[in-house]
């Protein structure tokens, strides 16, 4: 497993801090509501460390969602407190949907729910602020990120000097931008052990795109300075890097965040098929009655890493529309 950008020590401390914050919030909410609105016995399946099973479910999904958003790994996200508050709120709001389908007549008391929700945000963010202050006092908690620089000859000294002036970054190699397209460049980046590549003034859009995919395959993050904004602007996030405004494009394409998103997509698609099955059947019957031929239209598409897959959708045109495209366009 790849080491988080913020280091294993900081990541583990943050996980423990989040658990402590959630536990404190739930203990406070349960004690506050114990006398007049306790948790129904039907929702108390077990207890561990003095906390109810309901807490552990909320804590588990909160930690999973935090992991998905890279709050324990990415240096740009572990202090994104607004997004963390949104993630906590997402867990609580989704629990209302789950509770409705589980048993519409059974749910946690509203006073307990809202107290736990608000206090979870307050205690988690508060503890994270405190832990951040502590971690910033210790140099060993801030690992040196190996960075490889690609820039023009006149820009290399400036970028090298700016990175060297900031702690947390270690320059492991540099190369002139005109040589970025050479196969030896990618090999040099791999050998250097770089975890991030800072690219400035890449000569062509195609070259920048090829470099991006090679780095992503190697799980190396790419940072583009504004002069390289001609490509992939939607894939990255603006971020200040050692005093330099950059666009960061994450490399964690197959890391746990990607796998969680993949799992959510599959589960969401399955639920969508199940709940919308009556509508799909109605549409299929309507197509069959209104037009002879197959109900579905299929076509080959190119996916990740050039993998070919077959796409299926309801047919909305005549059967041979793709072969008669030129003829049909004249009728528009």
Do 308 and 218 have their domain in common?
A: no
Do 134 and 14 have their domain in common?
A: yes
Last residue of a domain, one of 121, 139, 157: 139
CB atoms < 10 A from the CB of 119, how many?
A: 20
Q: Is residue 2 part of a domain?
A: no
Do 239 and 306 have their domain in common?
A: no
pLDDT at 302: 67
Do 15 and 65 have their domain in common?
A: yes
Last residue of a domain, one of 139, 174, 200: 139
pLDDT at 196: 86
pLDDT at 85: 92
Two structure tokens written together for 183: 């196969």
Do 268 and 303 have their domain in common?
A: no
- Taking only the tens place, the pLDDT of each residue in 233-265 is 445 566 666 655 566 666 554 456 667 777 888
Q: Is residue 329 part of a domain?
A: yes
Last residue of a domain, one of 249, 269, 303: 249
Instruction: From residue 147, give the alpha-carbon distance in Å to each of 25, 64, 144, 194.
Output: 40, 29, 9, 5
Q: Reduced to 3 states, what is the DSSP secondary structure of residue 270? A: helix
Low-confidence ranges of the chain (pLDDT < 70): 1-5, 36-37, 75-76, 104, 138-143, 167, 203-209, 226-258, 302-307, 319-332
DSSP per position, 153-173: TTTHHHHHHHHHTSTTEEEEE
Do 169 and 109 have their domain in common?
A: no
Count how many domains the chain has.
Answer: 4
Q: Is residue 3 part of a domain?
A: no
The Cα 241–Cα 159 span in angstroms is 11
Q: Is residue 237 part of a domain?
A: yes
Do 231 and 303 have their domain in common?
A: no
Do 120 and 194 have their domain in common?
A: no
Do 265 and 301 have their domain in common?
A: no
pLDDT at 217: 79
Q: Which of 12, 1, 137, 144 is nearest to 72 (CA)?
A: 12
Residues β-bridged to residue 272: none
Q: Is residue 112 part of a domain?
A: yes
The Cα 146–Cα 138 span in angstroms is 19
* Domain span including residue 269: 257-285
pLDDT at 169: 80
The Cα 257–Cα 1 span in angstroms is 13
Total-model pTM: 0.53
Which residues are CB-contacts of 6 (< 8 A; sequence separation ≥ 6)? 14, 72, 73, 74, 75, 78, 141, 142, 143
Q: Is residue 66 part of a domain?
A: yes
Q: What ranges make up the beta strands (E) of the chain?
A: 47-48, 51-52, 145-151, 169-176, 196-199, 221-224, 237-241, 244-249, 296-302, 308-314
pLDDT at 233: 47
Check residue 39 and report its DSSP letter: P
Do 117 and 173 have their domain in common?
A: no
Do 270 and 225 have their domain in common?
A: no
Contact 19, 44 (CB under 8 A): no
Instruction: From residue 17, give the alpha-carbon distance in Å to each of 14, 20, 37, 83, 300.
Output: 5, 5, 28, 17, 48
Q: Is residue 1 part of a domain?
A: no
Contact 195, 205 (CB under 8 A): no
- Taking only the tens place, the pLDDT of each residue in 127-148 is 998 988 887 776 555 567 888 9
Q: Is residue 78 part of a domain?
A: yes
Do 124 and 149 have their domain in common?
A: no
* CATH code: domain of residue 236: 3.40.50.2300
pLDDT at 54: 83
């Amino acid at each position: 497993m790849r080491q988080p950008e913020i280091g294993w020590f900081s990541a583990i401390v943050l996980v423990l801090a989040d658990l402590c914050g959630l536990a404190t919030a739930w203990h406070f909410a349960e004690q506050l509501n114990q006398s007049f609105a306790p948790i129904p016995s039907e929702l108390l399946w077990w207890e561990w460390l003095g906390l109810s099973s309901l807490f552990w479910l909320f804590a588990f999904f909160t930690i999973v969602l935090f992991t998905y958003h890279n709050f324990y790994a990415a240096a740009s996200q572990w202090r994104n407190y607004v997004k963390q508050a949104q993630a906590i709120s997402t867990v609580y709001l989704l629990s209302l949907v789950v509770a409705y389908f589980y048993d519409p007549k059974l749910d946690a008391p509203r006073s307990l729910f809202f107290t736990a929700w608000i206090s979870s945000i307050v205690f988690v963010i508060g503890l994270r602020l405190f832990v951040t202050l502590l971690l910033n006092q210790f140099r060993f908690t801030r690992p040196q990120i190996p960075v490889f620089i690609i820039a023009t000859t006149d820009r290399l000294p400036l970028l090298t000097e700016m990175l060297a002036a900031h702690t947390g970054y270690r320059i492991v190699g540099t190369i002139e931008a005109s040589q970025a397209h050479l196969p030896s460049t990618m090999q040099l980046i791999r050998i250097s052990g770089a975890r991030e590549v800072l690219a400035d003034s890449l000569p062509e859009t195609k070259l920048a795109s090829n470099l991006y995919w090679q780095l992503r395959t190697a799980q190396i993050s790419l940072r583009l300075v504004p002069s390289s904004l001609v490509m992939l602007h939607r894939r990255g996030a603006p971020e200040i890097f050692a005093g330099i405004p950059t666009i960061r494009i994450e490399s964690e394409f197959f890391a746990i965040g990607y796998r969680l998103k993949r799992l959510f997509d599959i589960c969401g698609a399955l639920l969508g098929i199940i709940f919308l099955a009556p509508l799909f059947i109605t549409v299929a019957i309507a197509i069959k009655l209104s037009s002879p031929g197959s109900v579905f239209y299929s076509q080959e598409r190119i996916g990740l890493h050039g993998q070919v897959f077959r796409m299926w959708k309801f047919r909305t045109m005549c059967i041979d529309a793709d072969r008669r495209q030129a003829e049909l366009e004249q009728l528009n």
